[in-house]
Structure 1
């Protein structure tokens, strides 16, 4: 299963993005039931994309993440490629559509 990196500060988030060509940020809060339900599905989906590294941010511990990435709701999922945001999903995620988008980007990038 996809490894999950816990990102506990803005500095660590920025380093994670810089260290990985493909960074997927999963922003959640402990009191969010949707967040808890989506994370296992996301990890399973990302098993098919070995270039993508998954980082988890607890927005209740890293409150500045909301301003840094303009996050207004959780869960928020951000795909960052080479330091630029390419995709964002919030709250209710359609995994079929997310998989399609990832597949297209992944294929284009690896040509």
Structure 2
């Protein structure tokens, strides 16, 4: 499956140099200015099916990092390796952590994916 990852210029240069995307880098929402509820889950790479959405996040994080350029990477991922974005489900769609956990471990993710898609359209 073709997906997209958007990031700052600094992180993009690192990705090009290392030839891989770091799953444990410090994200914009992980900084001390944010509370524990908004911090993102480590060990995942945020990907989108839409290049414009990856570009949006890349631009947003570039502005927060005082950078003027950004990167969007296109990657191929096997669908079996994908997980629901539990941070997005929790913070935007207001889905309880219990429902997210149930979904991720029982492969009943369609309801959460549908809710997330509806949220991003609004």
Q: Same fold (TM over 0.5)?
A: no
TM-score normalised by the chain length of structure 2: 0.30
- Which structure has greater strand proportion? 1
Which structure has the larger Rg? 2
The structure carrying a bigger helix percent of its residues is: 2
